[in-house]
Amino acid sequence: MTLTIELAPEVEARLHAAACREGLVPSAYAERLLEMNLPPLPPGQATRDLLRVWREEDATDNPEEMRKAEEELAEFKAAMNANRQAMGKRLLYP
């Protein structure tokens, strides 16, 4: 995301000076300040966000892609079950 903000000259000078002390360009220093001061994500939110992005990227209504995905899932389940069965554990996908 690109964000453009207007800074008062004295704020810009302070930002530039602080960035220089840290060996950063002002935009990188400002990004660091934002990251450090944003509220933390709820536990597990980053994982949920990543999974949502993946799901959206993989979304399709193409019948051939859907058939292939279902086939791959069936193969995965069979392999997981075979592995669990070989170890004498309960099947994950009965």
State pLDDT tens for residues 14-44. Answer: 999 999 999 999 999 999 999 999 998 899 9
How many domains, in total, are found in the chain? 2
The neighbour count for residue 89, using CB atoms within 10 Å, is 10
On whether residue 1 sits in a domain, the answer given is no
Q: What angle do CA 14, 19, 21 make, to 5 degrees?
A: 95
pLDDT-based confidence at 94, cuts 50/70/90?
confident
CB crowding 23-41: b at 16 or more within 10 Å, else e: eeeeeebbeeeeeeeeeee
On whether residue 70 sits in a domain, the answer given is yes
On whether residue 45 sits in a domain, the answer given is no
Domain that holds residue 33: 7-38
On whether residue 14 sits in a domain, the answer given is yes
**pLDDT value at residue 20:** 97
On whether residue 91 sits in a domain, the answer given is yes
State pLDDT tens for residues 48-64. Answer: 999 999 999 989 999 99
| Model confidence pTM above 0.85 | no
On whether residue 75 sits in a domain, the answer given is yes
**pLDDT value at residue 26:** 96
The answer to whether residue 1 scores a pLDDT higher than 90 is: no
